[in-house]
Amino acid sequence: MGSVKDLEVIKDAEPDSYGTGRFIFSDRYSVFDWGEMPDLIDHKGEAIAMLAAYFFEKFDEIGISNHYTGLVENKIVKKFIDIKNPVNVMEVKLLRVAKPVFKDNNYDYSIYKTLKGCFLVPLEVIYRNFLPQGSSVFKRLSNKEITLKDLGLDARPYPNQKLEKPIYDVSTKLEITDRYLTWDEAQKISGLSENELLELKNITDKVNKLITGEFAKINLVNEDGKIEVGFNPLRRLIVVDVAGTLDECRFTPLGNTGLPVSKEIARIYYRNTVWYDAVCEAKQKDIQHWKEICREKPKPLPQKLKTLISQTYCACTNEITGRKWFSNIPPLDDILCEIKENLPLSDSSKY
């Protein structure tokens, strides 16, 4: 399936009917498109699965259609409320995945003009409620890759700006390295109609508001996040993959100076390594085969920091869901104080 979770296919999807599959959430993690990193984060898979299920069932309550069926405990599919212990397996309704063809140094998306229903839309939609110092938005504006109009802004944004209205951004999903798109480009490659594009933005807005409200209860700010969607057999949009977890979103403590509560913690650590410099160098040389030519490989996280990241995943799931799935986990505020002490001093400007 991917670098952090696996997929067990029980029944294949058809053009007019869902398939059935099971996500197996692992303790693996990935940063900077590398894929599986050299070590594991204890209980990450269970924490992500439980939190994702919690949000899917919240989506059901407010009418956001999605592909979630339930969690799997002792080989039985159950709803969140019926689970006794944390699990890492989720059953979902499967869609078809049609990959664009790479030829002549470009991706050919013409297949999406022929598909009617029951398929994954080849886009990731990103919502942004806040623009931190290193946001890609600033670089893309400077390089004239996007305009203020594309972002729905009237004035040029500034670092660490809290946005009055969210920005809805979009990127590719099925290419070797994701790239940002304008909404016109996104509509063109995916074959969405004007009404479907509007519905996609409306769904993203509802998801954003729900996740923002839930994390506000534990004093975390939802800075940004992403969703993925597909079409059901009747060509109605549904949310797929997962949403609302620390791998899909970036959170910061209310009133904090910017310490992230997400897998961004690992990114901050690795940005201060020779491996990260090598990754940037390789991507500049060959965006298609950069990993093969990268001159360095990542080393494992320091044990202390790895433990703190594990505790962060567990504490968020405990505190958002209101159930103590993971025992002996300190309060999230205490964990974050320790993380700040264990991240590289050279990166302190990012907090």
pLDDT tens track for 306-346: 999 999 999 999 999 999 999 999 999 999 999 988 887 54
pLDDT tens track for 229-262: 999 999 999 999 999 999 999 999 986 556 889 8
pLDDT of residue 54: 98
Provide the CA 84 distance to its chain's centre, in angstroms: 27
pLDDT of residue 257: 54
pLDDT of residue 348: 36
Task: State the SS3 of 112-144.
Answer: HHCCCCCEEEEEEEEEEEEECCCCHHHHHHHCC
Taking the chain (351 residues) in runs of 10, the rounded mean pLDDT of each run is 87 97 96 93 97 98 98 97 98 97 92 96 97 87 90 89 93 90 95 97 98 96 96 98 95 76 91 96 92 96 96 98 97 92 57 31
pLDDT of residue 22: 98
Sign of CA dihedral 190, 115, 20, 78: positive
What's the pTM?
0.92
Burial category of 182 from C-beta neighbours within 10 Å (exposed 0-12, middle 13-18, buried 19 and up): middle
Burial category of 55 from C-beta neighbours within 10 Å (exposed 0-12, middle 13-18, buried 19 and up): buried
What domains can be seen in the chain, in order of their start residue?
5-350 (3.30.470.20)
Q: Which residues pair with 21 in a beta bridge?
A: 9, 92
pLDDT of residue 347: 42
Tokens of 261: 């509560």
Distance CA 94, CA 125 (A): 20
pLDDT of residue 349: 35
pLDDT tens track for 78-106: 999 999 999 999 999 999 999 999 988 89
Place of tokens 């969703």: 227
